[in-house]
């Protein structure tokens, strides 16, 4: 568990002199921003979403947004059990029934005894729990497919909101120090269970996001270092082909020509349509041809 004042001061240095500026593409009235502003000056606790370096990028953007809005969270690990707290649970793609269970487990440990808010997630399944077992949880969705699914499943419309992935609350120029024209192209294609298997990676493919994976994203400095490591890896290239959502997003911030591919479920396309396409003209979404039955 990290002290809130020290963490806040670290991130204020990261954000720099423009901490009060709104990220390009963020609506002037955004339900997530409005809610987080209401927390300023309150005791806030935060459990980051575990996962790979893409989740580290989300956690980094979350720390930056907290600092911008004057929120000083106490940060906890995934397995911590709290009571009587105002608890924020990290955004990402971890509430997917049949695929991931970490956020569900955090809810089971903490939803009854705390006032919980789930930061922007892709959410699929867990309809009974969301509608009936976790009635006090405020849920933010990062794309409209999840949002409509929750409403169709009977979730309380007053506690379900449509916003964006946390990384889109960064300013367009946030990674300006890493921007360069670059040369050539690289593949950053998944080598895990979210790969569709429809695209054959090039010989130099590196699924760099898996270089870090786990319950890692508690220290703001580490989140920054990992995110900047990703940016430094991508910077020398002119073009990126990837089915990893947060590699596509980071590459978009870096000004790369991005060929974004679908993953094993709707997440990539939904976030592309909702947040990437309206903001980044340098990203195009490509649907690969279906696999031939003959192999």
**Of 167, 193, 169, whose CA–CA distance to 251 is shortest?**
167
| Under 8 Å between Cβ of 285 and 269 | yes
For the chain, what percent of residues have pLDDT higher than 70? 89
Beta bridge partners of 160: 139
User: pLDDT tens for residues 88-133?
Assistant: 999 999 899 888 888 999 999 999 999 999 999 999 988 888 877 7
Tokens of 90: 């990290």
Q: Is 256 helix (H, G, I), strand (E, B) or coil?
A: coil
| Angle between helical axes of 4-15 and 220-234 (0-180°, round to 10) | 30
Mean pLDDT for 252-278 is 97
Tokens of 200: 């054959």
pLDDT at 23: 59
Q: With bands split at pLDDT 50, 70 and 90, how would you rate the model's confidence at 154? A: confident
Q: With bands split at pLDDT 50, 70 and 90, how would you rate the model's confidence at 153? A: confident
4-169 to CATH, choices 3.40.50, 3.30.750, 3.10.400, 3.30.70: 3.40.50
The C-alpha atoms of residue 34 and residue 168 are separated, in whole angstroms, by 16
pLDDT at 1: 44
Mean pLDDT for 60-87 is 97
Domain ranges of the chain: 4-169, 176-285
| Under 8 Å between Cβ of 11 and 63 | yes
User: pLDDT tens for residues 168-207?
Assistant: 999 999 999 999 999 999 999 999 989 998 998 888 999 9
**Of 34, 31, 22, whose CA–CA distance to 68 is shortest?**
22
């Amino acid at each position: 568990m990290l002290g809130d004042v020290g963490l806040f001061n670290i991130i204020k240095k990261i954000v720099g002199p423009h901490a009060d500026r709104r990220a390009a593409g963020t609506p002037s009235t955004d339900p997530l921003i409005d809610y987080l502003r209401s927390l300023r000056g309150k005791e806030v606790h935060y459990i980051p979403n575990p996962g790979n370096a893409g989740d580290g990028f989300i956690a980094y953007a979350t720390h930056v947004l907290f600092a911008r809005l004057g929120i000083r969270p106490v940060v906890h690990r995934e397995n911590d059990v709290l009571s009587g707290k105002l608890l924020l649970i990290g955004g990402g793609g971890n509430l997917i029934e049949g695929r991931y269970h970490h956020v569900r487990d955090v809810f089971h440990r903490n939803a009854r005894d705390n006032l919980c808010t789930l930061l922007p997630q892709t959410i699929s399944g867990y309809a009974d729990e969301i509608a009936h077992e976790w009635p006090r949880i405020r849920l933010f969705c990062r794309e409209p497919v999840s949002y409509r699914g929750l409403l169709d499943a009977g979730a309380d419309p007053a506690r379900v909101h449509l916003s964006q992935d946390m990384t889109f609350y960064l300013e367009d120029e946030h990674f300006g120090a890493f921007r360069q024209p670059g040369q050539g192209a690289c593949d950053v294609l998944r080598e895990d269970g979210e790969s569709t298997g429809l695209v054959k990676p090039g010989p130099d493919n590196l699924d760099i996001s898996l270089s870090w994976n786990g319950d890692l994203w508690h220290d703001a400095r580490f989140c920054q270092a990992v995110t900047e490591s990703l940016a430094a890896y991508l910077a020398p290239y002119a073009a990126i082909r990837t089915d990893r959502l947060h590699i596509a997003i980071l590459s978009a911030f870096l000004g790369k020509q991005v060929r974004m591919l679908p993953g094993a479920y709707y997440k990539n396309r939904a976030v592309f349509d909702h947040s990437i396409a309206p903001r980044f003209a340098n990203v195009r979404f490509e649907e690969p041809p279906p696999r031939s039955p003959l192999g």
